[in-house]
Structure 1
Amino acid sequence: MLFMQLISRKSSRWFIVGMTSIFIFSIMLRFWQLGRFNTLVFDEVYYAKFANNYLTKTDFFNAHPPLSQYIIAISIWIGSHLPFGQEIVNNETGSTLAPWTYRWVNALTGSFIPVVVGAIAYQLTRRKSYAFIAVLLIALDGLFLVESRYALNNIYLVNFGLLGQLCLIIALQDWQFKQNIWLALAGINFGASAAIKWNGLGFLLSIYLLWIFAWIIEFLAPPKKSDFISPLRNLTQLNLLQFTLNLFFIPIIIYSLFWIPHIILNPKYGFWEMQKQIFSYHQRIGSGPDTHPYCAQWFTWPLMLRPVVYFYKNTGLLDKPEPSLPPLPSDIGNPKVNPLIYDVHAMGNPPLWWLSAVAILS
């Protein structure tokens, strides 16, 4: 018995060391040369500019809910008031800013996503090894890494959605008063995810589907006695009031509240009219190769046949030095003769994506 306790303590110690090491590694990957490139990369042309518009009180139309731009605005405000890192700047947002000032909160948020994923994996399985594998796979995911290093909105959408799932799973294992607190926190995070982008509703809709499936399983195959039952089976233990209040009304309230600052600064459209304008905008812009010639068809995404391109510059095609690029190596000679290509592509972690696709299909 004592021997097993010693093994358990040693295992827990190594688990903490491993998780901490991966977290530090995630931070290093995301913050290394965060100022590259000294320009707006990919959809930073929208989100970093819109965030700065909030700070300068400039009217604009936002084609997505505003929460991510609020967060980036806070990032800019804090970063621009720090007494370091202001040597390399640009005016792409409409103000003179160092590029890291609109990126660092994204990098910090992205560093925590592997930790949240590991917590979910542990809560679902109670196995440290599974949690460690989940953390490692997410930490090495190229798509999450690239999204974390630029002022984009998807990293916040995922973070709030995962936090909502984690809070819900914890709530399903606690039948005391604290359960309602965790359920409310889940609803707040799901509402925040939708306030980043409407795609964030997918996290909440997946919970609705799981709730339906849990009732079907409860009816067809009641759980057998075992050492461990997935907390998701406890979804049927939530009463209708708990479910609707915390996982329907609270997300709606949170989503609505996040619009208040935007509407105060941009009073042209009210709340409901703003939702109509966003829907109409996305209906107009369309999708597919006609709109984005380099895009990959949605059914090829799990196979990762075409990575997403975020940035591409060929020095051989430039007539003069490009200030957004790092200085060219001294031994390169004439960049027209010996061109360098700077590019950023985002591709997921193949084992994670492929095995996840198989798991979903099965």
Structure 2
Amino acid sequence: MNLDTKTNQNRSTLGIIIVCSIAIGLRFWGLERFNLLVFDEVYYAVFGNNYLTRTPFFNSHPPLSQYLIAIGIWIGDRLPFGQENLNAFTGSVHSTFSYRWMNAVFGSSVAPLVAALAYQLSQRKSYAFLAALFVSLDGLFLVESRYALNSIFLVCFGLLGQLLVLIAVRRDRHCRALLFGAGISLGAAIACKWNGLSFLVGIYIFIAIAKLLISRRSSTRAEDPHDSLLERLAKIHPFDIVFSLTIVPIITYSLLWIPHLIQNPDLNFIDVHQTMLNYHEKIGNGTGIHPYCASWYTWPLLMRPLAYYFTEYKPNYYYDVHAMGNPLLWWLSLAAIFGAIWSIGNQIGRNAQRSTIEKNVLAPIRDLNLNYLGVPLFIAINYAVNLLPWVGITRCLFIYHYLGGVLFAIVGLAWFVDNWLRSNSKFWQAAGLTTIFSVAATFVFWLPVYLGLSIEKTDLSYRLWNFWIFNWI
């Protein structure tokens, strides 16, 4: 199936626009429903209001996401719409729309950011379309975009930072202004939650491996427009790594604390970080701490999602909002991660067999096809750095901590499906199309518990499983 013709590229562009438009609609539809504070809105919406009222408080996370919620509240209160449902649960009277719409804006940006990232990785518009489609068909991203929570801000800034790095190196001459912007964005990701650092670490490792691979090659030719992404990354000047991707994120992170520290002068910059760390270290684990605690190894299989809101509003009819992914999408995406790792190992293994005569352990690395390797390597690295740091954490964790990891798993699945559709094999083309329509069907099936639609008890039981390794109730 030829996906590189101009007509198909235009169709992919149109598809991205349609997907992003639908994603926006789902994130803003009924945003004002549930006139109360849902789950951790009891913290983040309240904190956002505290910044507006200059009320001192302790925040267990860096402050940027709450600044943004505060900005959303300030603007939202002055809009001529979205004022139907008012409450004072934040400490002041606001509409539910006012403290949620900023999350919807950032959540709506995930699909175009993922599309742009996929395109920069591969220069394929079809891959960009599939990546945007799949991330728009995920329930956890949808739910996190509809309430005043902080993880969606982290993901957006992290994605933007990585995207700007890739755009910068794709240019004939690396654009330092873009790398500077990447540093600001990656610093902002950390200023939302500390685990935003994973996006920066992913870029570090990707660049380091690119430099290692290129150093094994004898060619010292000048930059060529047809260089692979890895070859371009390897040519990033050390100054840009130290300044734009290290010093700038640190400065950005530090500066973003200033408004919080001015409002809460009891703790200085160092003390507030020590207090935050002590707070997280003292949080226990297990159902006694919270009924929806879920260890890191349960996330990829979607064993324990999280109920954000549940109420029986009339006999046998419920409103239920579950922070859970699209089951089929998550399971296939996990398989894609193993596929990406296998692809990398398989290429190294084949090169090792061909190069045994040289008796050079670096020959398998030197002869790698860099055009083929870039995407699976990027996916595997970023999945690992977003998941593995949670392995040693003993405090209660929740499935939304997997948001960064599953993002790259979904991008990995899109890569394989795009390759299947490009195959000359009717079997693989059929597999790709079947995957797309099956993932869309499961998204529609679970949509009532993503949007909190009215649902009858029996229909709800079909969607909330409680058997074998699954406990979704």
- Does the alignment reach a TM-score above 0.5? yes
- Distance in structure 2 (CA, Å) of the matches to 1:123 and 1:340: 46
Q: Per the alignment, do residues 45 and 9 of structure 1 end up closer, same or farther by CA in structure 2, a change over 3 Å counting?
A: same
Count of equivalent residues: 335
Post-superposition offset of 1:74: 0.6
Post-superposition offset of 1:150: 0.3
Question: Which of 290, 296, 299 does residue 297 from structure 2 map onto?
Answer: 299
Q: Does 1:264 align with 2:262?
A: yes
- Distance in structure 1 (CA, Å) of the matches to 2:335 and 2:244: 32
Question: Which of 192, 200, 204 does residue 200 from structure 2 map onto?
Answer: 204
Structure 1 counterpart of 2:114 = 117
Structure 2 counterpart of 1:57 = 54
- Distance in structure 2 (CA, Å) of the matches to 1:179 and 1:33: 42
- 1:191–1:251: 8 Å Cα contact kept in structure 2? yes
Post-superposition offset of 1:38: 0.5
- 2:138–2:325: 8 Å Cα contact kept in structure 1? yes
Question: Which of 179, 186, 194 does residue 190 from structure 2 map onto?
Answer: 194
Structure 2 counterpart of 1:356 = 333
Structure 2 counterpart of 1:159 = 156
| Long gaps (5+) in structure 2 | 342-473
Question: Which of 238, 241, 253 does residue 240 from structure 1 map onto?
Answer: 238
For each residue in 1:81-101, what CA deviation from the matched residue of structure 2 results, as whole angstroms up to 9, or x when unmatched?
123332321111001111010
Letter in 1 for 2:72: S
Q: Does 1:80 align with 2:89?
A: no
Instruction: Show the 5 A alignment for 1:1-362.
Output: 8-176=5-173, 179-220=175-216, 230-315=228-313, 335=314, 338-361=315-338, 362=341
- 1:75–1:105: 8 Å Cα contact kept in structure 2? yes
- Distance in structure 2 (CA, Å) of the matches to 1:257 and 1:296: 34
Q: Per the alignment, do residues 353 and 219 of structure 1 end up closer, same or farther by CA in structure 2, a change over 3 Å counting?
A: farther
| Long gaps (5+) in structure 1 | 316-334
Farther-moved stretch of structure 1 (154-163 vs 293-302)? 293-302
Letter in 2 for 1:81: R
Post-superposition offset of 1:26: 0.6
Post-superposition offset of 1:159: 0.2
- 1:52–1:93: 8 Å Cα contact kept in structure 2? yes
For each residue in 1:120-158, what CA deviation from the matched residue of structure 2 results, as whole angstroms up to 9, or x when unmatched?
111111111111110000111100000000011111000
- Distance in structure 2 (CA, Å) of the matches to 1:58 and 1:279: 22
- Distance in structure 2 (CA, Å) of the matches to 1:360 and 1:15: 24
Q: Give the SS at the match of 1:294.
A: coil
- Distance in structure 2 (CA, Å) of the matches to 1:244 and 1:360: 30
- Distance in structure 1 (CA, Å) of the matches to 2:165 and 2:276: 30
For each residue in 1:2-23, what CA deviation from the matched residue of structure 2 results, as whole angstroms up to 9, or x when unmatched?
xx9xx94433432232111111
For each residue in 1:159-193, what CA deviation from the matched residue of structure 2 results, as whole angstroms up to 9, or x when unmatched?
000000100001111243x6101111110110000
Farther-moved stretch of structure 1 (295-304 vs 149-158)? 295-304
- 1:137–1:349: 8 Å Cα contact kept in structure 2? no
- 1:125–1:230: 8 Å Cα contact kept in structure 2? no
- Distance in structure 2 (CA, Å) of the matches to 1:96 and 1:85: 13
- Distance in structure 2 (CA, Å) of the matches to 1:88 and 1:115: 31
- 2:83–2:97: 8 Å Cα contact kept in structure 1? no
- 2:100–2:147: 8 Å Cα contact kept in structure 1? yes
Post-superposition offset of 1:235: 2.4
- Distance in structure 2 (CA, Å) of the matches to 1:197 and 1:56: 23
Letter in 1 for 2:269: F
Letter in 2 for 1:356: S
Post-superposition offset of 1:24: 1.0
- 1:147–1:154: 8 Å Cα contact kept in structure 2? yes
Post-superposition offset of 1:222: 7.2
Letter in 2 for 1:76: I
- 2:20–2:108: 8 Å Cα contact kept in structure 1? yes
Structure 1 counterpart of 2:451 = none
Identity %: 51
Letter in 2 for 1:94: G
Q: Give the SS at the match of 2:94.
A: coil
- Distance in structure 1 (CA, Å) of the matches to 2:258 and 2:264: 10
Structure 2 counterpart of 1:328 = none
Q: CA RMSD in A?
A: 2.3
Q: Give the SS at the match of 1:287.
A: coil
- Distance in structure 2 (CA, Å) of the matches to 1:233 and 1:143: 35
Q: Per the alignment, do residues 122 and 345 of structure 1 end up closer, same or farther by CA in structure 2, a change over 3 Å counting?
A: same
TM-score by length of 2: 0.67
- 2:183–2:245: 8 Å Cα contact kept in structure 1? yes
Q: Give the SS at the match of 2:170.
A: coil
- Distance in structure 2 (CA, Å) of the matches to 1:71 and 1:200: 16
Structure 2 counterpart of 1:330 = none
Letter in 2 for 1:171: A
Post-superposition offset of 1:213: 2.0
Q: Per the alignment, do residues 358 and 222 of structure 1 end up closer, same or farther by CA in structure 2, a change over 3 Å counting?
A: farther
Post-superposition offset of 1:220: 4.5
Q: Per the alignment, do residues 9 and 235 of structure 1 end up closer, same or farther by CA in structure 2, a change over 3 Å counting?
A: closer
- 2:13–2:125: 8 Å Cα contact kept in structure 1? no
Letter in 2 for 1:138: V
